[in-house]
Amino acid sequence: MASRVPAVSEVVEEARRLFEQNFGSRPEVEVCAPGRVNLIGEHTDYNDGFVLPMALALVTVVVGTRDAGRSVTIVTANEDVAEPRRVEFQMPNDGSPLSPGQPGWANYVRGVVQHYRASPLPGFKAVIASTVPLGGGLSSSASLEVAMYTFLQQLQPDDGDPVAKAVACQQAEHTHAGVPCGIMDQLVAVLGRKAHALLIDCRSMEVTPVPLSDPSLVILITNSNVRHSLTGSEYPTRRKQCMEAASVLGKGSLRDATLEELEGARGRMDEVTYSRARHVIQEIQRTVRGSEALKRGSYQEFGKLMVESHNSLRDLYEVSCRELDELVLAALEVDGVFGSRMTGGGFGGCTVTLLQAHAVDRAILHMKTTGRYATGLLLAGSSGAVPRAEGGHRRRPQG
């Protein structure tokens, strides 16, 4: 009953067809990078905390070839983006910055070109196709950034450092998309492992794989179809509030703060800033506890932490919405569900539910009959960004 996820080969074939239609030849380079779902650890990455995401079978594909000159032409297959769907610009040749422009979706490409870690970059022609829903909280932006960076690596190899690659993609989002995001999305898009979540220390960039191969366990992602945007004021405001709380506490980040210290300083900050900080401090603790629970197979414990996380995001961090709250409530009414929560930056997007395999159809049916169901995706873990060799076979990325 869950929605079918198109195979990567199907997405590549769609991109090939569009490339041939636009450029009259077959692409020479084909790469892909996954979206992600965050199991727990929301709004902790830009506070130097811990997160627990996993890569998805939803991917962004980039196919293309180098151009003899300095021109760049990009075509997107996504019909939901702002027009135009074909963009052209010149590759800087004097060290000057590549400024953001219109349409907005192409700024992710411009940003990655600007922050790419090897030179000189040639001009190129490329087509982008993706199955990661825009504004769904599954990191369509990082998926695009990492796919584009991987594409550029095939044209002009860099040193192959995967963490530096993720950081460059994060910088692209900061400077050209205007989103002061943390490092989680880019890291998991680069380093994701099949059938594993990744416990990421967003301060040290240390990544610890957490197995998720139990056949009785299922992760259900449900799209509220409320499309969120992180480029408005709310996301930067949350980050600023966290910085203010850390400053009052005399800390470099909320990663170093304790609940006891926060309570002691409560009178020196307003209640909203206090609530934001309380969520982050507790969410960091929940994420560490959650990763240990998954390692032990303690799914009931992990599910309880998921619900606590959602309630905190709803009440303390105030980034949920009615549709997300209803989807979580509907999931929790089904026997066999361990836990459910919103995932991603909030203000719309998706929920993630941990449940027993035998309960999947029942959970989806219940969501449908209550009128609160949008789109269910039954997804296993995917691997990180990879180039695709001739014939559509994957090669393991270096690093």
| Residues catalogued as catalytic | 185
Q: What is the DSSP string of 226-262?
A: ----SSSSHHHHHHHHHHHHHHHTT-SSGGG--HHHH
Amino acid at position 45, single letter: D
Closest residue by Cα to residue 238 from 288, 279, 185: 279
Cα separations in angstroms, 345 against 49, 113, 142, 167, 321: 15, 25, 13, 19, 11
Closest residue by Cα to residue 119 from 100, 146, 140, 91: 91
Pair of tokens at residue 360: 């999947």
Pair of tokens at residue 300: 């009931």
Distance CA 89, CA 176 (A): 15
Distance CA 230, CA 181 (A): 9
Pair of tokens at residue 345: 């930056």
Pair of tokens at residue 331: 């999931």
Helical ranges in the chain per DSSP H:
8-23, 107-115, 140-155, 162-172, 184-191, 234-248, 259-264, 271-296, 299-315, 322-332, 360-369
The answer to whether 172 and 112 have CB atoms below 8 angstroms apart is yes
CB hemisphere CA count around 232 (13 angstroms): 9
